[in-house]
Amino acid sequence: MPANPTAAQTAEPARRALRRTRIALAIAAAIYGYQLFVPPIVGMTDTGDFHRSLAPAGLAYPRGLDADARRAGFTRHFELVEPRYVNRTGRELDDIYVASEVLLLHLARHVNAVISKRGSFDIVAAGLVHLGVMLAGLALVFSAAGRLLPPRAHLLLLALAVFAFTDVGYAAWFNSLYGEPGSLVFLCLCLGVGLQAAIAARPGPWVAAWFLCAALLATAKAQNIGLVVPLALLGWRLAPRSTPRVGRAALALVVAALLALAPLVYSVTPPRNLRKSGIYQTVFNGLLYSSPDPLADLAALDLPVEHARYVGVDYWADPRSPRLDPQFDATFFSRVGLGTVAVFYLNHPDRLIAMLRTGGTRAFFLRYEYIGNFEAGAGMPPLAQSRAFAIWSDAHRHLPADLLFLTAVLALAAWRMARAARGAATPEARRAAEVLLLLPAVAAVQFATVMIGEGPWTANRQLFLMNAAFDAILVLAPVALAARISRGFASPATPA
């Protein structure tokens, strides 16, 4: 480029980056659309958890659909229910799970009113909404990256991100009512809004949007509440330094309140049955399951020795579960909580490390044998899984399933991003690197929260968001190398 480029010459690289972004988004939309909307459509089998989202969204199962039918394949059509919050599944109201995913389902109901010919709620309406938010997040990430990265590195980012995140291991969740798709799309939206705030000349509106997106991500699932800490701190870092002192003081108070309220929110956000199941699972399928002396550990927890018969018994699926036993409830839940488990692990750090090592062997699964992808009427056998666009998730199985590998990758990513932030040539590049620090933070917090709060043996699906953040790190690694080879970050003022 000439020493004194014209405005047209300066704008041309930006136009090329925008063109690349649009092409990448079109390809992603086509791949998602083929999987989600072309029969036989791909989704996720309802293992019994859909009811938690159905009732708050004003929906219910079709009449006559029993639990066995739901396990045979994912349920496509649902009935609208009025008044809202009427649980038509026969489960107690306390088991309803109100989270930010419900906001997406309410939006999906409005979409469904336009696209449904039957009058019933079609699961593809949820797929459309999840896909729309995901594409919006990707658009923000890709457009910001177009200003921060050299052309070849930007092109590599687009190719790898589309390849990884249109995989059926991610796409299939969009046609479901689980909390996982909300977690994924809100994480993507957080990254996109954060990067836009990092490069914006006037970041104030983007920072406000950041806190909204952060709140949606933190409340998408109960296990996400631990993300309040890194999300709040990043919001503080993104706030423009030119903000008046009163405004920064108010923001500091907001951040401090979020950090202080996180434990309280975590203790009351999940419904009672979900909190109880989490405590039960982390004790009987985590702490005691791998214990060298379960009876001694029961004594340390002040629990009767007869509770040893529940070791390895799933709270929901196993007929031996004491879930409906009031005597067990009175004895166990009056003596044990997540605080009790945390104190136990603090007093036995070797046991904590052993439990985390076990969890590391189960960390990198994007697909689960007990969750199929097709509805019962699609002509597929029960629990059949789609083989289209499954290369990334198939390769995922061959990652070293080891705590040391997971820890090393996250630590290296955090170190490299922190180093990039310190050595950045511009404030925009520094803030962008700080935004990317969210990825190892999300992965680490999610892994620790799930392992301590759920235990390693029943935690596969709960590590979905950890895998999403980890995969984003895997995508960024070669992109960072390509950017380094091509001069590193370019100045946002002169797009590459």
Cβ pair 325, 342 in contact under 8 A? no
What per-residue confidence (pLDDT) applies to 91? Answer: 45
Q: What pLDDT score does 318 carry?
A: 83
Angle at 490 between CA 488 and CA 491, to 5 degrees: 140
pLDDT above 90 (res 52): no
CA distances from 176 to 119, 183, 273 (A): 19, 13, 22
Q: How confident is the model at residue 435 (pLDDT cuts 50, 70, 90)?
A: very high
Please answer whether residues 30 and 76 qualify as being in contact, where contact means their C-beta atoms are separated by less than 8 angstroms.
no
Q: What is the mean pLDDT of residues 141-161?
A: 96
Residues 179-204, mean pLDDT to the nearest whole number: 95
- Strand ranges across the sheet with 59-60: 59-60, 77-80, 121-122
The Cα 300–Cα 88 span in angstroms is 42
pLDDT tens-place string over residues 270-302: 556 677 888 898 899 888 988 899 999 999 999
Q: What is the pLDDT of residue 413?
A: 97
Length of the chain: 496
- 221: phi then psi, degrees, rounded to nearest 5: -145, 155
Top pLDDT among 76 and 240 is at: 76
Q: What pLDDT band is residue 491 in, cutting at 50, 70 and 90?
A: very low
Find out whether 148 and 426 touch, Cβ atoms under 8 Å.
no
CA–CA separation, 444 and 164 (whole Å): 20
**pLDDT (tens digit, 9 = 90+) per residue, 309-320?**
999 888 877 889
Residue 187 pLDDT greater than 50, yes or no: yes
Alpha-carbon distance of 153 to 13, in angstroms, equals: 13
On average, the pLDDT of the chain sits at: 85
pLDDT at 261: 60
pLDDT digits (tens, 9 = 90+) for 32-49: 999 999 999 999 988 878
**Among 94-98, 320-324, 436-440, 477-481, which is the least confidently predicted range?**
94-98
Q: What is the CA radius of gyration of the chain?
A: 24
Percent of the chain with pLDDT over 70: 83
As a whole-number percent, the residues of the chain with pLDDT over 90 amount to: 51
Q: What is the pLDDT of residues 340-375, one digit of tens each?
A: 888 999 999 999 998 899 889 888 989 988 889 998
Q: What does the alpha-carbon distance between residue 493 and residue 309 come to, in Å, rounded to a whole number?
A: 66
CB atoms within 10 A of CB 25: 18
User: Residue 56: what pLDDT?
Assistant: 81
Can you give the pLDDT at residue 338? Answer: 78
Q: Which helix (H) or strand (E) holds 169?
A: helix 168-171
Query: Domain segments of the chain: what residues?
Result: 7-269+370-391, 272-347
Position 467 confidence tier, pLDDT thresholds 50, 70, 90: very high
pLDDT attached to residue 89: 42
Task: Give the residue-averaged pLDDT of 142-154.
Answer: 95
Output the CA–CA distances (angstroms, integers) from residue 380 to 230, 270, 325, 384, in the order listed: 43, 35, 38, 6
**Residue-level pLDDT at 76:** 84
Reported as a pLDDT band with limits 50, 70 and 90, residue 452 is confident
Helix (H, G, I), strand (E, B) or coil at 282: helix
Average pLDDT over every residue of 373-389: 89
17-31, 78-92, 165-179: segment of lowest average pLDDT:
78-92
What pLDDT is attached to residue 265? 55
Q: What is the pLDDT of residue 404?
A: 95
| Spatial separation of the C-alpha atoms in residues 483 and 160, rounded to whole Å | 14
E-strand ranges in 33-149 read 59-60, 77-80, 121-122
Q: What is the DSSP string of 318-333?
A: -TT--TT-HHHHHHHT
- Please state which of the ranges 239-253, 356-370, 404-418 shows the lowest mean pLDDT: 239-253
Q: What is the pLDDT of residue 9?
A: 47
pLDDT value for 160: 98
Which of 40-49, 84-93, 258-267 comes out lowest in average pLDDT?
Answer: 84-93
Q: Decide if pLDDT at 207 tops 50.
A: yes
Question: 100-124: per-residue pLDDT in tens?
Answer: 898 999 999 999 989 887 778 899 9
Residue with the bigger pLDDT between 258 and 29: it is 29
- Under the banding of pLDDT at 50, 70 and 90, the label for residue 487 is low
d(CA 79, CA 239): 44
Q: Which two tokens stand for residue 120?
A: 């019933």
Q: Which pLDDT does position 447 carry in this prediction?
A: 95
* Position 90 pLDDT exceeds 50: no
Quick one: pLDDT at residue 61?
A: 81
Task: Give the C-alpha separation, 138 to 488, whole Å.
Answer: 22
Give the per-residue pLDDT at 35: 98
> Does residue 332 surpass a pLDDT of 80?
yes
Query: Is residue 226 within 8 Å of residue 270, measured between CB atoms?
Result: no
Confidence class of residue 20 from pLDDT cuts 50, 70 and 90? very high
